[in-house]
Chains A and B, each alone.
Chain A
Amino acid sequence: MSQQRHRRRASSLYRLLMLLYPRSFRRQYREQLVEAYAAQRAEARYRGFAGGMRFGIDILSDTVSAALRRHFAVIRSGLPQGKLHTAPPSDVCRSGVGNMTSSVLQDIRYALRGVAKRPGFTALVVLILAVGIGANVAMFGTMNRALIRPLPFPEPDKLVLGRATFNGSPNPMASAYDYFDYRERNRVFESLGAILFGAIDVTVTGGDEPQQIAGTFVSWDLFRTLGVSAEAGRHFAREEGEPGGSDVVMLSHGYWQRRFGGTVDAVGQSIAVNGSPLTIVGIMPAGFHFLHDVDLWVPMYRDGPMANARRWHNWLLVGRLRPSVAIEQAQAEMDVISAQLASEYPETNRDKALLLSELHEALTEDYRTSVLLLMAAVGLVLLIACGNVGSLLLARGSVRRTELSIRAALGASGARLMRQLLTESVVTAAGAGILGTVLAVWFQKLILQFLPIDVPGMESQGISGSMLGFALILTVATGLLFGILPALRAAQTNVVEDIKSSARTTDSGGSRFRSALVIAQVAVSVILLIGSGLLIRSFANLRRVDPGFDAQSLLTAEIRLTQEKFSDPEQRINFYSELTEDVEAIPGVTAVAVINQLPVRDPGNNIYVYAADRPPLDPNDRNVAYTRTVFPGYFEAMAIPLLQGRGIERTDAEGSSRVLVINQTMAETLFPEEDPIGRQVVVDQGEEVAYEVIGVVGDVRVSGPRFNPRLAMYGSYYQRPLYTMRMAIRTALEPTSIAGELRQIVWSHDRDIPIEELSTMSDVIARTVSRDRVMALSLTLFAAVALSLAAIGLYGVLAYYVSRRVHEIGIRVALGAGARDIVRLVLKQGVTLVAVGIVLGLVGAYWVTRLIQQMLFTIEPTDPATFVGVSLLFAVVALIACLIPAWRALRVDPLSALAVE
């Protein structure tokens, strides 16, 4: 039932779109067009959200291009359609259609003349609309690329992403052993590939200087699954994805250009990655980008790095469905395999499953809300701008009334006048559309800079055909939207009344239109304001969250030692000890923290733990804790409070007992209401090893402020001397000022050691909430624009009201009305409009804001404080907008007002 209604509404939209066709064509084919439209809507490829959007775009571009071709044919021939090959040319000029064409041209000429006569007014209108159209076109382009356009791979709808779930909630990584089983046992995928959860920094040596670049592990068949062929050389072969296969690597186009100048003989050469030689077998094409921004790919294999267990979860699965298999079927088969694995390996696979989702949907789910929200916001702002311009034109319409009336008296019909005014607004909108499209190029770059979207194919930033089409439609729609009310008014022109012209006319029709416009503007701005208010408060809450350490005045850096030169653990301990001392000696440095993974920057590794005297009955009940390795002085330097016991010290070395400092959450979880100091914790690091708890420190939010602290523990570097360590250097001065000296010191030890990730900790934290900041900022910007437009609109209506009532006010003052009465008269008008608008806006916001619930942090979408605050803010702004006309009404001099008679 509702589906039927839905369909009827959709086809009535299409009927509206059909207005783009020449009338005769429309008349002849109306029913058939609608039938073809309905049939196309039902096609399978237009199912779902993305399908619906794609359908809309296809229909739009189909209609626009066909309508253009038809108009083109009509104009060029000047002939009534359908008789093109039979009617003799001499009929052309006499036919009605010919006249119509020439009168449209006449209207356009007239409109251009009018526009040129009022350059200031026109420039203002064009600018307002150009910004609105530009923002919409840019946002549409972004939305189209991110959410609607298929991924740049062959048959993208056959690609699915596989993510592991535990007890139904996404992990989302799957383990390598599970992956191998899914790959071997399934019959639904043409191929099932895998890619590591993230990028790994590797050091490539052998060139002029050591380079640190990003790389990742992929299954040998990942690129085949995606359907992307190598630009040079070949893909990985099956045996290169087996244990004992040869050591091979594929390079990105960019790295191939940088390192080898794009020469084909790079294929077959060998490069040293982290000290081991790998043979280059192929180059991926330019612009290829999948999930991670990396420059090299290395094949994974069973029992290779990160692929040697069933309980480590590091992989995302990417599958290509067989031609006749639907995703539901594939999911059913995955469930069967998951159940098999659960019974074969109950210890690791109980409650574990694999969730398949369409690759495109999965990649965009993070951005969908942000992008749609911004699209809605810019759309609403354009709507308000249209309302304002329409309001301006209505006001000007009253000024032009005499001109229009004379034209009517000379024989122009109402429809003719209406068309002339509409032509004027469409011509104005066309100017705005052209300027807006130019602006869109720049807006688009701005959007992507502030809202990085990680979807393949986002890189191309030009103006696409669909964006041009959208701009065109938006321009026409805008012109019609803001022009329609003034034009309707013009069509009702009453010749006799208007030529007489009277200052007393109250013009109730015009002001009713304008009042409705103002109410709509107020309502829409209230919705936008509440949305931005919620995002701002949510962002403020995020910034108020205590990260658990002092993030001010910290410089971070990553230092990576190669296995060739630092194979001896003692060497590494000495290197880092000396480095710490040297850095501490830099003037202005107050403390140095050394750890393998810095909070916020790297969340860290998860490991199973349990209290030694309380082994869990079921291995699945073990807790998971973040594990880190630190140097003495770490907690003091980071200002993480030591709550109990002691920190890591130089004496916690190889040979002495293995020690751990745990965080408060871990202490409360493993040893509730007991003293954890001196207790044993068993850590599952491949084999189960017991550690002694020597201290408890405060919690740190390692993944950024949005995420609650979890279990974490810190071991001693002397007992686990790693190659790569990070430093956080606390300074008395601006942290970045010592970056140069830090480099000098590191390179004085060894010229070949790369230093990466030099930045301040506050920047790192700011980056984790950058999306929240961008959304709050941009929505606030839109809301501010909407608020001021609505205020201007309100002011316009009241000023107009006062100017039409000068005569009446004059009489009232002459009869003894006081200042208070006059102000009340004007305010009553304004207050009614604003009150109705605010109430409508609040009701709207109540329904709309729940759409952004998932973006909000510790705040409800119906937060009363925000709702009340916005209403008050609006009331104040509205009051100011009302007071100026009221003040003007007060200055009405009764004598001169009446003297007009």
Chain B
Amino acid sequence: MAETISVSDTYDGIRYVFSVRGILVTDVSHRIKQLQPLRPAVFHILLVLAGGERHGYAVKQEVEQQTGGVVKLGPGTLYESIQRMVELGLIDESPRRPAREVDQAQRRYYRLTRFGRQVLQTEVARLEQTVQHARASLGGTKPA
């Protein structure tokens, strides 16, 4: 039985729990559960990378575009989140780089890992449930 140490982190007033040595825990669904709910930054980065490999700054631009500027990623938040996600095994650096003329100098590209995709799917499913629940309790409008 591998030991796990949980790190709790407070962000925007919500408490998030990560398993820092999570890779040693073999039960994937348990690991995913420990990651939920995802920090907004993490969630949106996953969402963008689900669409294909991106370099860091492109991730930031797309996140801000997708959320209409509601989720803003400063340089520190962006790369701190990326680093954290690499550590958690949600994403990894892509060994392939675009053609030399397209790639600008030191840019590193990131892609979703299989585990990252699972986490994103689970999170989306959870959000779906939440939305349904919210719609029901607000009464009135039902989803088509």
Contacts and interface: CB of A to CB of B under 8 A. Distances in A.
B87 A82 contact: yes
Nearest to A39: B57
A37 B77 CA distance: 11
A84 B87 contact: yes
A62 B83 contact: no
Interface string B61-76: 0000000000000111
B9 A40 contact: no
A872 B126 CA distance: 75
A14 to B, nearest CB: 8
A85 B9 contact: no
A36 interface: yes
A29 B84 CA distance: 13
A197 interface: no
A36 B79 contact: yes
B76 A81 contact: no
B87 A36 contact: no
Contacts of B107: 32
A36 B105 CA distance: 14
A76 interface: yes
Interface string B50-64: 000000110010000
Chain B interface residue bracket vs A: 20 to 34
Interface in A699-718: none
A72 interface: yes
Main SS at interface, chain A: helix
A234 to B, nearest CB: 23
A63 B78 CA distance: 10
Interface in A536-587: none
A85 B90 CA distance: 10
A59 B56 CA distance: 17
A177 B84 CA distance: 62
B75 A36 contact: yes
A134 to B, nearest CB: 27
A72 B18 CA distance: 13
Given A62-B76, A66-B74, A85 B87 contact: yes
Contacts of A85: 21-23, 87-89
Contacts of B9: 69, 72
B86 interface: yes
B77 A62 contact: yes
A70 interface: yes
B124 interface: no
B74 A29 contact: no
Given A32-B56, A73-B7, A73-B87, A65 B20 contact: no
Nearest to B18: A73
Given A72-B9, A76-B7, A86-B23, A33 B57 contact: no
Chain A interface residue bracket vs B: 20 to 34
A231 interface: no
B80 A66 contact: yes
B60 A36 contact: yes
B109 to A, nearest CB: 11
B74 A63 contact: yes
Interface string A17-29: 0000100010011
Interface in B5-57: 5, 7, 9, 20-23, 56-57
A50 B62 CA distance: 26
A89 interface: yes
A76 B19 CA distance: 11
A70 B80 CA distance: 7
A210 to B, nearest CB: 48
A35 B3 CA distance: 39
A681 B14 CA distance: 74
Contacts of A89: 3, 21
A541 B16 CA distance: 62
B45 to A, nearest CB: 13
A26 to B, nearest CB: 10
Nearest to A21: B76
- Looking at B22, B77, B79, B108, the one whose CB has the most chain A CB atoms below 10 A away is B79
B83 A82 contact: yes
A639 interface: no
B20 A76 contact: yes
Contact of A77 (B20, B78, B79, B83): B20
A33 B20 contact: no
A815 to B, nearest CB: 65
A39 B72 CA distance: 13
B106 interface: yes
B7 A65 contact: no
Nearest to B89: A85
A66 B80 CA distance: 6
- Looking at B76, B105, B106, the one whose CB has the most chain A CB atoms below 10 A away is B76
Contacts of B106: 31-32
Contacts of B78: 36
B15 to A, nearest CB: 14
A73 B76 contact: no
Given A32-B106, A77-B20, A84 B88 contact: yes
Interface string A29-53: 1011111110110000000000000
A29 B79 CA distance: 7
Nearest to A69: B80
- Looking at B22, B78, B107, the one whose CB has the most chain A CB atoms below 10 A away is B78
A81 B83 contact: yes
Contacts of A35: 57
Interface string B98-131: 0000000111100000000000000000000000
Contact of A33 (B76, B84, B86): B76
Contacts of B60: 36
A32 B79 contact: yes
Given A76-B7, A85-B89, A25 B83 contact: yes
A58 interface: yes
A76 B87 CA distance: 13
Given A29-B79, A69-B9, A36 B20 contact: no
Contacts of B88: 84-85
Nearest to B59: A36
A591 B83 CA distance: 81
Contacts of A76: 5, 7, 20
Nearest to A76: B7
A769 interface: no
A764 interface: no
Contacts of B105: 31
A214 interface: no
Contact of A81 (B3, B21, B77, B87): B87
Nearest to B19: A85
Given A25-B79, A37-B75, A72-B7, 17 more contacts: A21-B76, A25-B83, A32-B57, A32-B106, A32-B108, A36-B60, A63-B74, A63-B75, A63-B76, A67-B80, A76-B7, A77-B7, A77-B20, A77-B21, A82-B86, A84-B23, A86-B23
6 contacts: A29-B79, A58-B74, A62-B75, A73-B7, A85-B22, A89-B21
For the complex of A and B, 10 pairs with smallest distance between CB atoms: A62-B74, A66-B76, A85-B23, A84-B87, A36-B75, A66-B80, A29-B79, A62-B76, A63-B76, A85-B89
Interface of A: 21, 25, 28-29, 31-37, 39-40, 58-59, 61-63, 65-67, 69-70, 72-73, 76-77, 81-82, 84-86, 89
